[in-house]
């Protein structure tokens, strides 16, 4: 850990995008990792899909594992559960786990359109239950057809219009590439070229009060760093809608935010913990 990171121990930090039993991190190793970075707590997400389309590594991101980790470390892990909306008893399953203490719906990552009627039904239920929905949108390019999940950004806008009472947190390359207006032209999943104009995600984040985004994974970090100056402007403009999350077990996202005192305290506080806490606050109290 860098000296800079060591000096932030007085800052509150919530990682809104983590998984347990993922890349060799069981609950205790994950707590150790959070301790090293000075992260107070993490939202733990499942990944459930009934169509057998998950990569073998991800089969075990079950609600039972998330719940076990939460029970072992109740002050460190906040449990989320995105039941596959195609399950016949999806509502009942979600209700059962919400009664136990699940605080959000995530990570929603299934091989159907994001505005599929089954999914919309779940989003509406989440709106009624006060659960934020954290979703992944991917990119469908010829070289990565297996990553076809929750397409696409136009479908997202349909959902935002239809589910006004539900809070959504966007994540994934099919979201972040739209930081640039020329996203459709790019042949890369993670475009590295300069940002052109104001992308669709700026428009959506400003237009819909129920839409947020996490900066996690390679997709979030790439979008913010591909054009250093515009990335900083993006964060400064939209910090009230952005959440710190990693999906990873390193310090790159934190280093980005804390580098060279580039962001004001009010920006850092919002992104590092306040926005996350606000979205589930009424449930925690």
Which residues are registered as beta bridge partners of 212? 169
DSSP state of 271: I
Contact 223/191 with Cβ under 8 angstroms? Answer: no
Least distance in Å: CB of 249 to Zn ion? 12
Q: Pick between residue 157 and residue 247 the one whose CB is nearest to Zn ion.
A: 247
The answer for residues whose C-beta is within 8 angstroms of residue 113's C-beta and 6 or more apart is 119, 150, 151, 152, 155
What's the min distance (Å) between Cβ of 100 and Zn ion? 22
In whole angstroms, the minimum distance from the beta carbon of 82 to Zn ion comes to 10
Stretch that binds Zn ion, among 25-33, 34-42, 137-145, 246-254 (CB under 5 A): 246-254
**Cβ proximity to Zn ion, 102 vs 267, nearer residue:** 102
Among 156, 247, 251, 263, binds Zn ion (CB under 5 A): 247
220-234: b or e for each residue (b if 16 or more CB lie within 10 Å)? bbbbbebbeebbbeb
* Interface region with Zn ion, contact rule CB under 5 A, candidates 5-13, 51-59, 181-189, 241-249: 241-249
How many beta carbons lie within 10 A of that of residue 204, not counting itself?
20
User: Which whole-number Å values give the CA distances from 161 to 104, 211, 212, in the listed order?
Assistant: 20, 11, 14
CB of 19 to Zn ion, least distance (A): 6
In this chain, which stretch among 36-44, 197-205, 247-255, 270-278 interacts with Zn ion, using CB under 5 A? 247-255
Beta bridge partners of 131: none
Q: Select from 118, 121, 126, 79 the least CA-distant residue to 100.
A: 79
Which 102-121 residues touch Zn ion, going by CB under 5 A? 107
Q: Which is nearer to Zn ion, 67 or 263 (CB)?
A: 67
Between helix 200-207 and helix 153-162 the angle, nearest 10°, is 10
Closest to Zn ion by CB, 107 vs 138, is 107
**Which CB atom, from 95 or from 218, has the smaller least distance to Zn ion?**
218
What is the closest distance, in whole angstroms, from the C-beta atom of residue 55 to Zn ion in the complex? 12
Q: Least distance from C-beta 264 to Zn ion, angstroms? A: 29
> Rule CB under 5 A: which residues touch Zn ion?
107, 247
């Amino acid at each position: 850990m860098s000296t800079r990171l060591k000096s932030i121990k007085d800052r509150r930090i919530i990682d809104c995008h983590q998984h347990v039993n993922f890349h060799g991190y069981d609950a205790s190793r994950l707590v150790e990792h959070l301790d090293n970075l000075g992260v107070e707590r993490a939202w733990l997400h499942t990944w459930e899909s009934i169509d057998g389309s998950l990569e073998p590594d991800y089969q075990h991101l079950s609600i039972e594992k998330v719940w076990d980790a939460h029970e072992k470390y109740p002050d460190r892990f906040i449990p989320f559960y995105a039941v596959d909306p195609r399950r016949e008893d999806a509502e009942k399953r979600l209700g059962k786990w919400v009664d136990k203490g699940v605080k959000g719906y995530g990570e929603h990552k299934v091989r159907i359109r994001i505005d599929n009627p089954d999914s919309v039904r779940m989003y509406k239920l989440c709106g009624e239950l006060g659960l934020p929905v954290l979703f992944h949108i991917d990119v469908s390019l010829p070289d990565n057809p297996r990553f076809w999940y929750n397409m696409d950004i136009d479908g997202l806008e349909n959902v935002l219009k239809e589910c006004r009472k539900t809070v959504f947190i966007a994540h994934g390359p099919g979201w972040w590439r739209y930081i640039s207006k020329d996203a459709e032209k790019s042949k890369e999943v993670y475009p590295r070229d300069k940002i052109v104009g104001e992308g669709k995600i700026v428009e959506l984040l400003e237009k819909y009060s129920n839409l947020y985004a996490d900066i996690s994974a390679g997709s979030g970090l790439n979008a913010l760093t591909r054009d250093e100056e515009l990335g900083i402007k993006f964060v400064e403009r939209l910090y009230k809608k952005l959440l710190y999350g990693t999906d990873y077990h390193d310090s790159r996202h934190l280093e980005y935010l804390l580098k060279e005192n580039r962001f004001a305290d009010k920006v850092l506080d919002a992104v590092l913990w306040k926005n996350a806490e606000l979205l589930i606050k009424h449930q925690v109290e």
